Amino acid sequence: MEKIARPFRVCVTGAESTGKSELAKELSRHFRVPLVPEHSREYAQEQQFVLSYSDVGPIAHGQIEAEDRVLVRG
C-alpha cells in the first residue's frame, strides 16, 4: 500500500442530499483527522441571497482559510 504524506486534503463534492457530509464524517473518523465543515453553507447564510458564479471565489478562499486554521492548530 502506498504511504500518503501528511497533511493531505480530501474534497468531497456532489449534488445536494447525496450523503457527502456523512461520508466526510466517516473519513474523518477513519483517518483520525479533523473535519472542516463546508464554508459555502456558512457563506450562503451570511449573504442571505441566491449564490451565483461570482461567489465561487470567496467561498473557495473561505474554505481554504478554514482548512489552514485547522492545520495550524493540528
Report pLDDT digits (tens) over 15-55: 889 999 999 999 999 988 899 989 988 899 998 888 899 99
Whole-number pLDDT of residue 10: 87
How many helices (H) and strands (E) the chain has is answered by: 3, 0
Q: Which residue has the higher pLDDT, 5 or 42?
A: 42
**Does residue 37 sit in helix, strand or coil?**
coil
Mean pLDDT of 58-74: 89
What residue type is assigned to position 70 of the chain?
A: V
pTM of the model: 0.74
Span between the terminal Cα atoms of the chain, in Å: 25
Q: What is the dihedral of CA 26, 30, 31, 32, to 10 degrees?
A: 90
In the 8-state DSSP scheme, what is residue 16? T
Whole-number pLDDT of residue 61: 96
Per-domain residue ranges of the chain? 20-73
Rounded Cα distance, 50 and 45, in Å: 10
